Amino acid sequence: MQYYDVIFHPLISEKAVSMIETENKIVFVVNPKATKPEVKKAVEDAYKVKVDNVNILVDTKGQKRAIVKLNKQFKASELSSKLGMV
Protein backbone atom coordinates (compact mmCIF):
# COMPACT_ATOMS: atom_id res chain seq x y z
CA MET A 1 0.00 0.00 0.00
CA GLN A 2 1.09 3.57 -0.65
CA TYR A 3 1.02 6.04 2.25
CA TYR A 4 -2.07 7.79 0.83
CA ASP A 5 -3.89 4.43 0.90
CA VAL A 6 -3.08 4.04 4.60
CA ILE A 7 -3.44 7.55 6.08
CA PHE A 8 -6.70 9.36 5.38
CA HIS A 9 -6.28 12.57 7.44
CA PRO A 10 -5.10 13.87 10.81
CA LEU A 11 -7.70 14.04 13.56
CA ILE A 12 -8.36 17.44 15.08
CA SER A 13 -10.08 17.33 18.45
CA GLU A 14 -9.43 18.83 21.84
CA LYS A 15 -7.84 15.64 23.13
CA ALA A 16 -5.73 15.17 19.97
CA VAL A 17 -4.38 18.72 20.20
CA SER A 18 -3.61 18.15 23.88
CA MET A 19 -1.60 15.02 22.96
CA ILE A 20 0.39 17.03 20.40
CA GLU A 21 1.41 19.55 23.03
CA THR A 22 2.06 17.26 26.00
CA GLU A 23 3.00 13.80 24.67
CA ASN A 24 4.53 14.48 21.21
CA LYS A 25 1.81 12.34 19.57
CA ILE A 26 -0.39 12.90 16.52
CA VAL A 27 -3.68 11.12 15.81
CA PHE A 28 -4.57 10.03 12.27
CA VAL A 29 -7.69 8.43 10.83
CA VAL A 30 -6.40 5.45 8.87
CA ASN A 31 -7.59 2.71 6.55
CA PRO A 32 -9.60 0.04 8.44
CA LYS A 33 -7.33 -2.66 6.98
CA ALA A 34 -4.05 -0.92 7.94
CA THR A 35 -1.71 -2.54 10.44
CA LYS A 36 0.67 -0.87 12.90
CA PRO A 37 3.78 -1.48 10.74
CA GLU A 38 1.99 -0.11 7.66
CA VAL A 39 0.94 3.03 9.55
CA LYS A 40 4.47 3.52 10.91
CA LYS A 41 6.03 3.20 7.45
CA ALA A 42 3.39 5.45 5.86
CA VAL A 43 3.93 8.26 8.40
CA GLU A 44 7.72 8.01 8.13
CA ASP A 45 7.60 8.06 4.31
CA ALA A 46 4.99 10.77 3.94
CA TYR A 47 6.25 13.25 6.54
CA LYS A 48 9.98 12.40 6.82
CA VAL A 49 9.91 11.83 10.57
CA LYS A 50 10.96 8.95 12.85
CA VAL A 51 8.14 7.12 14.63
CA ASP A 52 8.73 5.47 18.01
CA ASN A 53 5.36 3.84 18.60
CA VAL A 54 1.93 3.33 17.02
CA ASN A 55 -1.26 2.49 18.89
CA ILE A 56 -4.44 1.70 17.00
CA LEU A 57 -8.06 1.88 18.13
CA VAL A 58 -11.47 1.76 16.51
CA ASP A 59 -13.84 4.46 17.76
CA THR A 60 -17.58 4.20 18.23
CA LYS A 61 -18.20 5.60 14.73
CA GLY A 62 -16.25 2.71 13.21
CA GLN A 63 -13.24 4.83 12.24
CA LYS A 64 -9.80 3.36 12.81
CA ARG A 65 -7.47 5.80 14.55
CA ALA A 66 -3.71 5.58 14.86
CA ILE A 67 -1.98 7.38 17.70
CA VAL A 68 1.57 7.97 16.48
CA LYS A 69 4.34 8.85 18.94
CA LEU A 70 7.19 10.70 17.27
CA ASN A 71 10.85 10.38 18.18
CA LYS A 72 12.30 13.04 20.52
CA GLN A 73 14.25 14.70 17.70
CA PHE A 74 10.99 15.53 15.88
CA LYS A 75 8.28 17.78 17.27
CA ALA A 76 4.62 16.89 16.81
CA SER A 77 3.76 20.58 17.04
CA GLU A 78 5.92 21.34 13.98
CA LEU A 79 4.37 18.50 11.98
CA SER A 80 0.86 19.56 12.98
CA SER A 81 1.53 23.11 11.82
CA LYS A 82 2.76 21.74 8.46
CA LEU A 83 -0.48 19.75 8.21
CA GLY A 84 -2.52 22.85 9.07
CA MET A 85 -3.94 21.41 12.29
CA VAL A 86 -2.99 24.24 14.67
Which spans in 1-86 are helix H? 3-6, 14-23, 36-47, 76-83
Whether 1 shows a pLDDT value over 80: the answer reads: no
pLDDT digits (tens, 9 = 90+) for 28-58: 999 999 999 999 999 999 999 999 999 999 9
Report whether 39 contacts 32 (CB < 8 A).
Answer: no
In the chain, the number of structural domains is 1
Whether 4 shows a pLDDT value over 90: the answer reads: no
pTM: 0.92
- Looking up residue 78, the CATH number of its domain turns out to be 3.30.70.330
Report whether 65 contacts 30 (CB < 8 A).
Answer: yes
Binned at pLDDT 50, 70 and 90, residue 85 comes out as confident
Amino acid, res. 22: T
Query: Residue length, the chain?
Result: 86
| Domain range for 50 | 3-83
Q: What is the mean pLDDT of the chain?
A: 94
